[in-house]
Structure 1
């Protein structure tokens, strides 16, 4: 599906330059690895949908290891990011070096169009194979499942399945994010429609309960926490964030399994800072980067850093793993189906 790009040669050339640093010129990084000493200052631009506070923490931790690399950020929702990327492509080339957002099918499409450089990701063997692109154009940086969340003050018995949400008792009590705005919600729509246990029949029955559709996962989680809509569909880390802050909200992982996005990272083929960009991507999936992800309430992409407080072990979560080519091909139609049913 992918096509090789000229950025491979650029990456290889940069790697040779870095390899020229002798062991005597290297200093230990915070994770014990060798970081180049006296490396030239560089600046990379990251397009991301990460919450501002979380991306600020990531950059601060990265700069403890690589202070010579300045990371500039443009933060927006996935829909706005993809629109910006398309606009910049039309004008000439993408102005970012790294994309940290969205879902694997989005990156599959970009790779197929020659928009991404091949990665040389460090420590791949430690990563969950589910987040690795077989052709090496992107790597997942956290597991972000979409789950059922509920207000513990308003709901006595937590729903345990997606099918349960179609019960008439949940009419006018549900909230969901808008797939036109949320990349995760768009991905979920395609996964649900592709899932044999669910499909269009389930989505139609769910629509009959008239969920409130809000722009994104943030407002959806807030509506649940406040009790305005006591049950909803939302990404799990937001539930943990709100519960840790004292909100009466909890998470339920549906027994049919949960769709998930892996917040991939990739380097644009047009980047002039491939080596610095690769260093940033490597930090995201390193043990230290993943420990930070866990501290930020995310489920990790490697098995040696545990899971967030209150979260189940990864082995206890049923993840839905659809064919990503099918999801990429059907996502636009799935969003159209969702909109027809829910709006």
Structure 2
């Protein structure tokens, strides 16, 4: 199964809201009925996700307000651990999850190419940003999560404005960043940086010479910056907003060269025995209600009719790095190995 394609730049989310009327799809079973109308047969589905546990619990609770008859069992881990778990389960008899909500589109491209995902187009798909919807219908992005530069405002008086600035000797031993062996976003970022002509291996080598601390995931990175243990971090933006709202001395800088982003896609495994319940869960994630919850959880949404988090820029204020997904998928393992050789020696 070949899935060669290119990705167009992320469309602006600041455009006028898309009218929802008449947006049902004749090819989608769930698109012929309103997601909140009527109960389904009682069912239990298993969700594998890299979402923080508290946020995953909020998602399930909100979904159960609409579909109390569906039980969602959550297994939460970093994306690297989740993909390892899926690979192990495939070898030992079958994937135990029904729904996968994690990481970047490249991971889902690989799963789709291997025939692991159920083809499904969510209800209200026309209301979504087209750049996060798989053209072949195997997965859909659920939020926009850029990786940015975070800095401690009590220590750093002038925020770094570019990725290149982080290679300056002034930032030696001052930076913290996540481990791509654990964080799916970090693995994706490594491939994007290496692919970008403004950055590439030369930039990564120079950054490594500043001896960044490598934390397990984005959460510890943001905490290290907020506490001042490391005054500068490379981290996903929503964590910075959350800590700033809580009063931590932390702020965000969107580098001038552009920011890589993941869309936290959701997909349904092809061998699920609870397809209808799984589809209802996918529908909820990208519905108006589900996306309002995403905004409340400090994420940039994938639809334009639900606002944006307080303090977040509009997408037309951010330069986005949108590489070819097939290139990133095919080079990501090698990019992670390059990262290991440079940063984890």
User: Normalising to structure 2: TM-score of the pair?
Assistant: 0.90
Give the aligned partner of residue 30 of structure 1. Answer: none
Give the aligned partner of residue 80 of structure 2. Answer: 79
Give the aligned partner of residue 244 of structure 1. Answer: 245
Using the TM superposition, give the Cα deviation of residue 34 of structure 1 relative to its aligned residue in structure 2, in angstroms. 5.5
Give the aligned partner of residue 161 of structure 1. Answer: 162
Describe how 1:2-13 pairs up with structure 2 within 5 A: 2=2
Contact 1:14 1:274 in 2 (8 A): no
**DSSP-derived class of the 1:117 partner:** coil
**TM-aligned CA distance change 1:340 to 1:41, over 3 Å:** same
In 1, Cα distance between equivalents of 2:28 and 2:289: 24
Structure 2: runs of 5+ lacking an equivalent? 4-25
Using the TM superposition, give the Cα deviation of residue 134 of structure 1 relative to its aligned residue in structure 2, in angstroms. 1.0
Using the TM superposition, give the Cα deviation of residue 105 of structure 1 relative to its aligned residue in structure 2, in angstroms. 0.6
Structure 1: runs of 5+ lacking an equivalent? 4-11, 20-25, 27-32
Contact 1:2 1:113 in 2 (8 A): no
**TM-aligned CA distance change 1:38 to 1:61, over 3 Å:** closer
User: Normalising to structure 1: TM-score of the pair?
Assistant: 0.91
Describe how 1:16-95 pairs up with structure 2 within 5 A: 33=34, 35-95=36-96
Give the aligned partner of residue 288 of structure 2. Answer: 287
In 1, Cα distance between equivalents of 2:238 and 2:182: 18
**DSSP-derived class of the 1:116 partner:** coil
**TM-aligned CA distance change 1:303 to 1:38, over 3 Å:** closer
In 2, Cα distance between equivalents of 1:78 and 1:193: 20
Give the aligned partner of residue 9 of structure 1. Answer: none
1:103 and 2:89 are equivalent in the alignment: no
Describe how 1:99-248 pairs up with structure 2 within 5 A: 99-248=100-249
Using the TM superposition, give the Cα deviation of residue 314 of structure 1 relative to its aligned residue in structure 2, in angstroms. 1.6
Using the TM superposition, give the Cα deviation of residue 13 of structure 1 relative to its aligned residue in structure 2, in angstroms. 12
Give the aligned partner of residue 278 of structure 1. Answer: 279
In 2, Cα distance between equivalents of 1:170 and 1:126: 43
In 1, Cα distance between equivalents of 2:40 and 2:341: 54
Paired positions, count: 322
In 1, Cα distance between equivalents of 2:192 and 2:219: 21
In 1, Cα distance between equivalents of 2:80 and 2:39: 39
Give the aligned partner of residue 309 of structure 1. Answer: 310
Contact 1:101 1:265 in 2 (8 A): yes
Contact 1:2 1:135 in 2 (8 A): no
Q: Which has the larger radius of gyration?
A: 1
In 2, Cα distance between equivalents of 1:225 and 1:34: 40
